[in-house]
Structure 1
Amino acid sequence: MKILVTGASGQFGRRAADLLLEVLEPGELVLVSRRPESLADFARRGVEVRAGDFDQPHTLDSAFAGIDRLLLISTDSVGAKRRRQHGNAIAALKRAGVGHIIYTSFIGASVDNPAISASEHGATEALLRATGIPCTFLRDSQYSEAIAQFVAPDALLTGRWMTATGEGQIGLVSREDCVACAVAVLTGSGHENKVYNLTGPQLLSYRQCAQLTAEYGGRPVEYIPCSEEQKYAFFDALGVPRRIEGDGPIAGPIPWPSEEMVSFERALREGYFAVLSDDVKTLIGRPPISLRQIFEQYSATIQAAVAAQSVAH
């Protein structure tokens, strides 16, 4: 059996490849990236590395040839670019006759979800279903690591956590758990045409996340509910563009437009992400990692980031 991972040079893809090599022979694994040279370490271990770029459809037929199971890792683009990238990949997967597609989707994925990213994932799921190829949708919740590594240090530095999410809740999940679940599906059986909601062990509001941030950072963090208009104004002041113009990189300090981030907060506030599931434990045989455990793992990193930012300011 040949198993392929797309986007293999990214954080999720590289970790999936490492875990797959614990249970597969190198000759059973194929890694695809638009930067194949970045996977030289895997090639030296006997893994086949192929070039494939979702923005260049002519590269994909050879990239996907002869594959039984494939992990389709969603791109990190937003808007028309992502829809086009996914469409190019899915058309090539169908032409190549891939036997089973495992897609990294998002919790609450639906074209009716007000979060732009979640509606895009819903559209991708619909495209995949239309191929007639057996698919598995892994609907990852928001990563706990994103809270610990990026949101918490900024909140500790400013002493504020301003959000338009209100008291909405989400089942934050560890990226490590999501990767482990993907590997379990890729190497297991009986997962065709199933949807798995990958969440942490509890639903949390951002207010609770702010409280945990203060606890581990040793500094007070004020939770400030705000309106969507106020959140847009906050991003405007940072120089974040509201919408994506064209296909180029986003000009600004954050790699997403504010329209995407505010729509995400709206969906969270309105309950679209309030999903709690035992699917992680079902797939990997242990309970999911909690946000508190992630904070314990990153506590030194959080404090170092705050210290560095404090010196810089």
Structure 2
Amino acid sequence: MSIIVTGASGNFGRKAADLLLDKVPASELILITRRPAALAAYAERGAQVRYGDFDEPASLAAAFAGGQRMLLISTDQVGGERLRQHRAAIDAAVAAGVQQIAYTSFIGVGPDNPAISTVEHTATEAMLRACGVPYTFLRDSQYADAIAQFALPGALAMGAWMSSAGDGRIALVAREDCVACAVAVVSTPGHENKIYDITGPELLSYRDCVALAVELSGRPLAYDAVTDEQKLAFFDSIGVPRRIEDGMENSPIPWPGEEMVSFERAIREGHFAVLSDHVERLTGRKPKSLRQVCMENIDKLRLAA
């Protein structure tokens, strides 16, 4: 059973490749990347490392040839580019005879979700439903790693976490649990046309995250609840463009302001308040908690404090 992993030189893709090498013969692993040299170590282990670029659809026929299952890792492009890239990948997979496409989507997708970041996930899921190839949607929650490694240290350094998410809750999930679930779906049978919500073990508000940071760091940290307009004004004040088309080259944060504010609105309104046991069902182990992920990054928290 040949397994394709797209975006294989990225963080998620590399971790997936590492786990897959423990489950399937290396020769059955097809790793797609725009930078084959970056995956030379995997080629030395016997994996098929192939050039493929979603921005060059003609490159994908050879890249996907012979693959039977595919892990389609969502690209990091926004502003319409992601959807065009996903369309190219899906069309090429269908033409290549791929028999299952597992896609890394996001929890709470749907037409009523105000989060801009979910729009292209919703559209990609619709493409996959219509393409005729069995699909699996891996609807990952927000990474606990991002909270532990960036959000909380940044807040501790500033002395406050400003948020328009209010007391809305989300089940933060460890990236490694998301990867393990994706690997399980493409390396074992029975996941065709299934939807999995990949979440952590508990629903938490950002205020809960602040309380945990205070406990673990021993330093005070305020939770500054603001309106959407106030949060957007803050992003304006530090030079974050409101939209991707405004240019992101000099932005201190790699996401546009309106997208981030819409994400927090979605949390506040309950669109991401999804809790499931799918991590345990797919991997056989309970998902990591935010506390566990924070303890793995305790040095960053204490240094920031």
TM class by smaller structure: over 0.9
Pairwise CA RMSD? 1.2
| Partners of 1:25 and 1:205 in 2: CA distance | 42
- Stretches (4+) displaced over 3 A: 248-251
| 1:133 aligned residue | 133
Moved more, 166-175 or 76-85: 76-85
| Partners of 2:7 and 2:238 in 1: CA distance | 30
Give the 3-state SS of the residue equivalent to 2:32 in structure 1. strand
| 2:263 aligned residue | 264
| 2:43 aligned residue | 43
Q: TM-score, length-normalised on structure 2?
A: 0.97
| Partners of 1:121 and 1:113 in 2: CA distance | 11
| 1:311 aligned residue | none
Instruction: Confirm or deny that 1:297 pairs with 2:296.
Output: yes
| 2:279 aligned residue | 280
Q: Is the 8 A contact 1:244 1:250 kept in 2?
A: no
How far does residue 84 in structure 1 lie from its aligned partner after superposition? 1.1
1:32-84 deviations in Å (ceiling 9; x for gaps): 01111111111111111011111111111111111100000001111211111
Give the 3-state SS of the residue equivalent to 2:231 in structure 1. helix
How far does residue 303 in structure 1 lie from its aligned partner after superposition? 2.2
How many aligned positions are there? Answer: 305
* AA in 1 matched with 2:5: V
| 1:197 aligned residue | 197
Give the 3-state SS of the residue equivalent to 1:113 in structure 2. coil
| Partners of 1:59 and 1:216 in 2: CA distance | 49
Task: Please show how residues 1-313 of structure 1 align to structure 2 within 5 Å.
Answer: 1-245=1-245, 250-304=249-303, 306=304
How far does residue 16 in structure 1 lie from its aligned partner after superposition? 0.4
Give the 3-state SS of the residue equivalent to 2:243 in structure 1. coil
| Partners of 1:163 and 1:255 in 2: CA distance | 17
| Partners of 2:45 and 2:248 in 1: CA distance | 34
1:90-142 deviations in Å (ceiling 9; x for gaps): 11112112110000000011133111111211110000111010000000000
| Partners of 1:146 and 1:239 in 2: CA distance | 21
* AA in 2 matched with 1:255: P
How far does residue 249 in structure 1 lie from its aligned partner after superposition? 5.3
1:200-259 deviations in Å (ceiling 9; x for gaps): 11100000001111212221110011011111111111111000118x754411111111
Q: Is the 8 A contact 1:200 1:289 kept in 2?
A: yes
How far does residue 302 in structure 1 lie from its aligned partner after superposition? 2.4
Gaps of at least 5 residues in structure 2 are none
